[in-house]
Amino acid sequence: MNVNGIPQRTIWTSADNTAVEIIDQTRLPHEFVTLRLNTMRDAERAIRDMQVRGAPLIGVTAAYGVALSMRHHASDAALKATCDMLLAARPTAVNLRWGIERMRAVLAPLTMEQRAAAAWSEAALIAEEDVAINQAIGQHGCALIREIHQRKNTMVNILTHCNAGWLATVDWGTALAPIYAAVEADIPLHVWVDETRPRNQGASLTAWELGQHGVAHTVIVDNAGGHLMQHGKVDMVIVGCDRVTARGDVCNKIGTYLKALAAHDNGVPFYVALPTPTIDWTLQDGVQEIPIEERAAIEVTHISGLADDGKIHTVRVTPVGSAVANYGFDVTPARLVTALITERGVVYQPNELNMRALLAD
């Protein structure tokens, strides 16, 4: 996708092919800064500190982290230590485990001498596949938006939560890919962007990338969605996700569940866009089984933004001494999900049978 009209990905290999470069997403929307990751520890830190974030991009960055490590230490012990360290960077997005396990499966049978080159190619392949997957999600999701447009014959209003756009993947995004495809197909639409406290991925990232593409959007506070749905101002919800269980429970950014409840109560279709590596076939009950990341209290007690002096300032919003809880994700039960939009197609009434049937095709 574009930044100031110039095509840009979220992660790419350096010109000398010895490192990986990323956009530092903690600096957006006020500063566009790129960073060089030279080592596996740089990659691990970038994931942990959310310089890269979003489930698919976390998976790709971890794959490159393995590749960076193999350049220096390619023994079995080093491979295991690298995988263990990267796996611990963030707990909820299953794409992290998926990316690392795919690297391990390719590298483990090889000799030490073969591993560095093979790891670099495999990480690049995973990145390219992510782009193709997201484009396909875009086409399947675009058909759903078109259906609504044909029925209404006016602007389609779509609500999204957090950032599941191109910044959360290598390119195109998951939840926003159908929106970009629909805009390319000249379907008139407008996006309601949940701000997504505490880290404001909606207000700072989704709003920024939609703005870069000239997509009409309005930022709303996280609690506004229910009101908008009651007043017929939302035609569909599309969100991304960090993990989907075998029975179709969906884990995504904290607050997603409340949007699904409001959508259900108001008869608004609730879609979840995902690449199939986001399905965790080892789990069933998402509420009980998916590990939910808890992050530092400072993300809740403080907020950062651009001040009138042109500098980024951080200020406290809670009283000193108040206890704080900071859960990063929640789980939406499958019964509240209208359909999953995957690169293979759309799965209505997500459950194990319907999801496996899609993959079998």
* Closest residue by Cα to residue 256 from 234, 229, 237: 237
Site string for ligand MRU, 243-272 (x = CB under 6 A): ---------xx-------------------
Q: How far is the CB of 306 from ligand MRU (least distance, A)?
A: 20
Q: Is 83 in the site for ligand MRU (CB under 6 A)?
A: no
Q: Supply angle C-alpha 96, 97, 102, rounded to 5.
A: 105
Size of the site for ligand MRU (CB under 6 A): 17
**Cβ nearer to ligand MRU, comparing 141 with 240:** 240
Q: Please give the C-alpha separations between residue 289 and each of 282, 285, 339, in angstroms, as whole numbers.
A: 10, 6, 22
The answer to whether the peptide bond before residue 29 is cis (omega within 30 degrees of 0) is: yes
Find the binder of ligand MRU among 126, 136, 164, 215 (CB under 6 A).
Answer: 164
**Cβ nearer to ligand MRU, comparing 204 with 212:** 204
- Phi, psi at 212, each rounded to 5°: -60, -25
Q: How far is the CB of 57 from ligand MRU (least distance, A)?
A: 7
- As a whole number of angstroms, the distance between CA 318 and CA 100 comes to 38
DSSP conformation class of 63: H
Q: Is 201 in the site for ligand MRU (CB under 6 A)?
A: yes
CB 129 within 8 A of CB 169: no
Q: Is 126 in the site for ligand MRU (CB under 6 A)?
A: no
Q: How far is the CB of 273 from ligand MRU (least distance, A)?
A: 7
Residue with tokens 């982290």: 65
**Cβ nearer to ligand MRU, comparing 236 with 241:** 241
Sign, CA dihedral 279-170-67-83, equals negative
Selecting among 130, 171, 194, 242, the annotated active-site residue is 242
Site string for ligand MRU, 296-335 (x = CB under 6 A): --------------------------------x-------
Residues 6+ apart with CB under 8 A from 134: 56, 166, 169, 170, 171, 172, 173, 174, 177, 275, 343
Q: Please tell me whether residue 354 adopts helix, strand or coil conformation.
A: helix
Q: Is 194 in the site for ligand MRU (CB under 6 A)?
A: no
Question: Looking at beta carbons, which residue is closest to ligand MRU?
Answer: 240
**Cβ nearer to ligand MRU, comparing 93 with 219:** 93
Which 15-54 positions form the footprint of ligand MRU (CB under 6 A)? 53-54
Span near ligand MRU by CB under 6 A; candidates 208-216, 221-229, 240-248, 351-359 = 240-248
Please report how the helices 55-70 and 112-152 are oriented relative to each other, as an axis angle in degrees rounded to 10. 170
Q: Is 204 in the site for ligand MRU (CB under 6 A)?
A: no
Q: Please give the C-alpha separations between residue 298 and each of 3, 200, 336, 350, in angstroms, as whole numbers.
A: 30, 14, 32, 37
Q: Is 93 in the site for ligand MRU (CB under 6 A)?
A: yes
**Cβ nearer to ligand MRU, comparing 122 with 209:** 209
Q: How far is the CB of 163 from ligand MRU (least distance, A)?
A: 6
Q: Is 56 in the site for ligand MRU (CB under 6 A)?
A: yes
**Cβ nearer to ligand MRU, comparing 149 with 198:** 198
In the annotation, is 242 catalytic?
A: yes
- As a whole number of angstroms, the distance between CA 160 and CA 152 comes to 20
Pairing state between β 329-332 and 339-342: unpaired
Give the active site residues: 242
Residues that bind ligand MRU (CB under 6 A): 53-56, 93, 162, 164, 168-169, 174, 201, 240-242, 252-253, 328
